[in-house]
Amino acid sequence: MPIQSKITKTDPDKRYRRVLSASTLAGDSVQNSAGEDLGKVDELMIDIPSGRVAYAVLSIGGFLGMGNKLFAVPWSALRVDEDKKIFVLDVDKKKLENAPGFDKDNWPDMADVAWGTQIYSYYGAAPYWEEKTSRSGGGL
């Protein structure tokens, strides 16, 4: 999916959210297309050999940091709403709550292809490692 189609915007002169540090995205809100709050971005996971963002790790629920469950979501399943400055994930809250998740003290091996395939399949996204594009060093 082309980058431009993943960005919702109303003002073409706004140029923010194109190239940002990962740390600036931590804590950003995630909503579904119905406007329900799904959680916040906790971490971005980068596949170093491919140079791609593989997952956004979302933090859901909990009180004062206790009992938070984390969910790895394929980066390609998220889009940005520049006007609201949020990420949008097109799933209902119940689907996310029932997604394969993990405890903040027990992270899965995110380099494991079988695990990654399960996550990408759950969200209906094509695994980025199966794409036939090459890394040419060009821009976005």
pLDDT tens-place string over residues 75-124? 999 998 888 889 999 998 889 889 999 998 999 999 999 999 999 999 99
Note the pLDDT tens digit of each residue in 35-82: 999 999 999 999 999 999 999 999 987 655 555 789 999 999 999 888
When pLDDT is averaged across residues 134-138 and rounded to a whole number, the result is: 46
CA distances from 26 to 33, 90, 129 (A): 20, 19, 24
Angle at CA of residue 40, ends 37 and 44, nearest 5°: 140
Kindly tell me if the per-residue pLDDT of 6 is higher than 70: no
CATH class for the domain made up of 3-123: mainly beta
Q: What angle do CA 129, 133, 134 make, to 5 degrees?
A: 100
